[in-house]
Amino acid sequence: MIGGGTGGTLAANRLRRSLAPDDAITVIDADDRHLYQPGLLFVPFGLAPAARLVRPRAAQLRAGIDFLQSVVEEVDVEADQVVLAGGERIPYDVLVVASGARLLLQETEGLTGPGWGERVHTFYSLPGAATLAGALASFAGGRLVVDLVDLPVKCPVAPLEFCFLADWYLQRHGLRSRVQLTYVTALDGAFTKATCNRELSGLLARKGVEVVTEFATARVDAAGGRLVSYDEREVGFDLAVVVPLHGGADYVSRSPGLGDALGFVPTDGGTLQARVKPNVFVIGDAADLRASKAGSVAHFEGPVLARNVARYLGREAPDAHFDGHTNCFIETGFGKAILIDFDDDLEPVAGHFPTPIGLPLLRESRLNHLGKLAFEQLYWHAILPGREIPLVGSEMPRAGKRPQLAPPLLQTEGGTR
């Protein structure tokens, strides 16, 4: 298993339960700091202390799983071997690629240059989120710009959530009237799924967040305080929060046949097998799938991957099929959140989750906000151990969904925000 993050950990734990005791499982990761990434959203606003979000990797793995701290240099797909940084080769019968996505700061001119960490920030890494907390605390007003450089990115709703929380934070500090808050995106709307886009765009408008679409950021000019697009448009800022372009782990591009141009692994979205060879499987952000790069996706992929790997080892054809199930809580500020749940076929709709009595879908509520907060404990104690969450299976539930209803304009519980 390359990668001991969300996908690698939950897959290893599931496989340890289902495989024979003498089937050896090794998880390789470059470091021993498992970060609860959804918590990064809260760090800049002082809502989560950075230290709470990190735990040792090995402690999340069941007994009987070996943890190897080392950097993977390359995969020799022909020879079925993983090559480590020191040159050591680890042979495998089955490889699971779970090395996630990384931030490609160098792909955008000016991002790592002067002003990085001063006027230009990101919350997509722990040091970045912590530095941004300091910058926000001393922000006295002006133009705050949140820029989504391009897809694919992890958790594509997180930049929107950042806008909602920034609106809340600035109000709480009595600064909102002195700040022009702008969301700049490479997409042609706030979100690519049509129904959801309508809901979220409405919410942004109500919170006074200006939206600039189809803005392909070519350059971040920190000194001049402006974003410049490839078609020469400009957006000025005093403080910029940038979500940089993502790519796969760099060893993927170095391994012949394994990855695509951006370092993601071409994968059969049903069986989760890499296209390059049937004994290579992929879970989580490392895959080139249409599904979101989200922890919930890795969670729903878990049982499919575990079953197919076990069948492969038993010389049977993989028969489990992933449906693209994605589920996310969208924090909207003021103690509320929206929940969306969808798959490759059905886009986010109204109703309740996971059954007709449950959390409200596509609607702001306090219950969903509590769900989002509870997710942190669920992550360490149910998702990573690879446990089933009551009522929430891998396949997208349809019982509580009401696709036939024209989705109402976003309803809000108790009050205007």
Ligand X SMILES: Cc1cc2nc3c(=O)[nH]c(=O)nc-3n(C[C@H](O)[C@H](O)[C@H](O)COP(=O)(O)OP(=O)(O)OC[C@H]3O[C@@H](n4cnc5c(N)ncnc54)[C@H](O)[C@@H]3O)c2cc1C
Is residue 163 classed as helix, strand or coil in its secondary structure?
helix
Distance (Å) of CA 105 to CA 37, 120, 242, 329: 18, 12, 10, 27
State which residue has the least CB distance to ligand X.
5
Separation of alpha carbons 142 and 120, rounded Å: 14
Residue span binding ligand X (CB under 6 A) among the ranges 2-10, 183-191, 227-235, 313-321:
2-10
Minimum Å distance from CB 416 to other proteins?
28
Q: Pairing relation of β-strands 179-185 and 142-148? A: parallel
Separation of alpha carbons 390 and 375, rounded Å: 14
Minimum Å distance from CB 157 to other proteins?
8
Minimum Å distance from CB 103 to ligand X?
9
Minimum Å distance from CB 402 to other proteins?
22
Decide whether 224 or 323 has the Cβ nearer to ligand X.
323
Decide whether 221 or 285 has the Cβ nearer to ligand X.
285
Tally of CA atoms within 13 A in the half-sphere of 97 that contains its CB: 38
Separation of alpha carbons 211 and 147, rounded Å: 10
Separation of alpha carbons 417 and 164, rounded Å: 10
> Pick from 25, 28, 228, 361: which binds ligand X (CB under 6 A)?
28
Decide whether 6 or 308 has the Cβ nearer to ligand X.
6
Separation of alpha carbons 295 and 285, rounded Å: 8
Sign of CA dihedral 145, 150, 152, 156: positive
> Pick from 13, 15, 38, 359: which binds ligand X (CB under 6 A)?
38
Decide whether 74 or 288 has the Cβ nearer to other proteins.
288
DSSP secondary structure code for residue 49 in this structure:
-
Show the site string, 265-304: x = touches ligand X by CB under 6 A, - = not.
Answer: -------------------xxx------xxxx-x------
* Residue ranges with strand state E in 153-233: 179-185, 210-212, 217-221, 226-229
Residue 65 binding: pick among ligand X, other proteins, none (C-beta 5-8 Å cut-off by kind): none
Sequence-ordered list of residues with C-beta below 8 angstroms from that of 320, at least 6 positions apart, any chain: 271, 303, 304, 305, 307, 308, 311
Separation of CA 117 from chain center: 22
Minimum Å distance from CB 220 to other proteins?
15
Residue 156 binding: pick among ligand X, other proteins, none (C-beta 5-8 Å cut-off by kind): other proteins
List residues near other proteins by CB under 8 A: 107, 150-152, 156, 187-188, 191-193, 214, 216, 218, 230-231, 245, 260-262, 289-290, 292-293
Residue span binding ligand X (CB under 6 A) among the ranges 107-115, 153-161, 255-263, 406-414:
153-161
> Pick from 5, 247, 303, 318: which binds ligand X (CB under 6 A)?
5
Structure-token pair, residue 117:
């960490």
Which residues form the interface with ligand X (CB under 6 A)? Answer: 2-8, 28-31, 37-38, 40-41, 71-72, 98-100, 123-124, 154-155, 158, 249, 251, 284-286, 293-296, 298, 328
